[in-house]
Amino acid sequence: MKNIAILGATGSIGSSTLEVVRNNPDKLRVRAITGGKKWQQLAKQALEFKPDLAVIADKSAYDLLKTALAGTSIKVEAGADAVIAAVEAEPLDAVVAAIVGAAGLLPVMAAIEKGRQICLANKETLVVGGSLVMQAIKKADVDLLPVDSEHSAIFQCLQGSPEKSLNKIIITASGGPFRTFSREQLLAVTPEQALKHPNWDMGGKITIDSATLMNKGLEIIEAHWLFNTDYDNIEVVVHPQSIIHSLVEFSDGSVIAQLGWPDMRLPIQYALSWPQRWSPPVPALDLVRVGSMTFEAPDLNRFACLAYAIEAGRAGGIMPCVLNAANEVAVAAFLKRKIGFTEIPALIRRTMDSFTNQPAKTIGQLLEVDTQAREKAAAMLTNGVN
Ligand code: NAD
Ligand code: MG
């Protein structure tokens, strides 16, 4: 029996993780769950899975959650510090990190320091703090298991292969809902259109990131850290059917891919079952139903976010943190209709240009840069992005 905590239980990955738990009651036991604001959903989850601890980040929801769980033995806490402390609950073997954005960094660092296995969905943690997070992982000697479908695919392809035999990583991208849009069409897209992903059902922020291709950029940086691979050896190929989740090329030229329906339950379950494999959480892949698979190159001009992420990743230091913060501000502004779709990359470009790069030395420094970048991006929003 594996004791787990789920950070971001009320989100898309969090809910899918609970489905995996529901299907494997003899293998997984939920000890702690955390949510951002949705206390009703968190209460419902707590009543079903009976963790020892339920934490809501939004302090104003504490009383409501406490009342909803009155009469149970579930401990209720609130606030950002309580979310971090949730990884300290005992007994705990693994932490599923499914908070969205840079807000996930500190809880993941705390979980690493506590020696928990990390099942990582929260890619922004590696984008913002890559070198420091990987150092901490090494020092604490904990397993870092990718949940992101592409990275789960790469991780699976690499199982059993000798070290140093990896030549190249090929990350697939669906291309998002605007893959075939012209520049003019991109100018007019609405949040409603951007929130409709052709293949995946996900939280709002990552769905917009998938439409701008920033998601693929963040994933390149994530892959760089997870698999200790140079940016020169990470390639993106657009594969609109999202059946091949990624591929690796070995030193002898052989290429191995992982395939499956686009459904996060499989990569989530593999992160929890590794190195074992459990019963399938989704129907079997049917290649005849898939019919055909196609591939094309990404367009870095129409989707400049991907180019900026690669640039920030290669630059290293604080730049990926700046990129990520500006992107979080830009995506939130787009969803609130304060800026247009094509102003997302524009705001990121201007924010990146307003920083001089420096080495990333401490998490504290990165959190400061994160705050500064958000402030600068917000000020540019007020004064006009272009
Ligand atoms: P989501 O928006 O559906 O859920 C996010 C969760 O984080 C919610 O529980 C929310 O309450 C919580 N949260 C948000 N801000 C918080 C804060 N400041 N403090 C504490 N909790 C907070 O997002 P999601 O789609 O589930 O994605 C979660 C993470 O997983 C993201 O980093 C995303 O990039 C990554 N991911 C998601 C998918 C997917 O299919 N949804 C796939 C791969 C990777
Ligand atoms: Mg992904």
Q: Where are the domains of the chain?
A: 2-146, 151-175+213-298
The residue whose CB lies within 8 Å of the most ligand 1 atoms, and thus the one to mutate among 6, 10, 12, 367, is 12
Ligand nearest to the CA of 335: 1
- 320 in contact with ligand 1, CB cutoff 6 A: no
Residue nearest ligand 1's atom 11 by CA: 36
- 216 in contact with ligand 1, CB cutoff 6 A: no
Ligand nearest to the CA of 41: 1
pLDDT at res. 1: 96
- 86 in contact with ligand 1, CB cutoff 6 A: no
Ligand 1 mean position, distance from CA 154 (Å): 22
Asked whether the CA dihedral 9, 275, 248, 134 is positive or negative, the reply is: positive
- 120 in contact with ligand 1, CB cutoff 6 A: no
Residue nearest ligand 1's atom 36 by CA: 121
Ligand nearest to the CA of 121: 1
Domain 2-146 coded CATH 3.50.50.60? no
- 203 in contact with ligand 1, CB cutoff 6 A: yes
pLDDT at res. 383: 82
Residue nearest ligand 1's atom 9 by CA: 8
Residues around ligand 2, an ion, CB closer than 5 A: 148-150
CA distance 65 to 300: 45
pLDDT at res. 382: 87
Q: Which long-range contacts (CB under 8 A, 24 or more apart) does 371-380 make?
A: 371/325, 373/321, 373/322, 373/325, 373/326, 373/329, 374/325, 374/326, 374/328, 374/329, 376/326, 376/351, 377/325, 377/326, 377/329, 377/330, 377/347, 377/348, 377/351, 378/329, 380/347, 380/350, 380/351
Ligand 2 mean position, distance from CA 216 (Å): 7
The per-residue pLDDT string of the chain (386 residues; one tens digit each, 9 = 90 and over) reads 999 999 999 999 999 999 999 999 999 999 999 999 999 999 999 999 999 999 999 999 999 999 999 999 999 999 999 999 999 999 999 999 999 999 999 999 999 999 999 999 999 999 999 999 999 999 999 999 999 999 999 999 999 999 899 999 999 999 999 999 999 999 999 999 999 988 888 899 999 999 999 999 999 999 999 999 999 999 999 999 999 999 999 999 999 999 999 999 999 999 999 999 999 999 999 999 999 999 999 999 999 999 999 999 999 999 999 999 999 999 999 999 999 999 999 999 999 999 999 999 999 999 999 999 999 999 999 887 66
- 153 in contact with ligand 1, CB cutoff 6 A: no
pLDDT at res. 313: 98
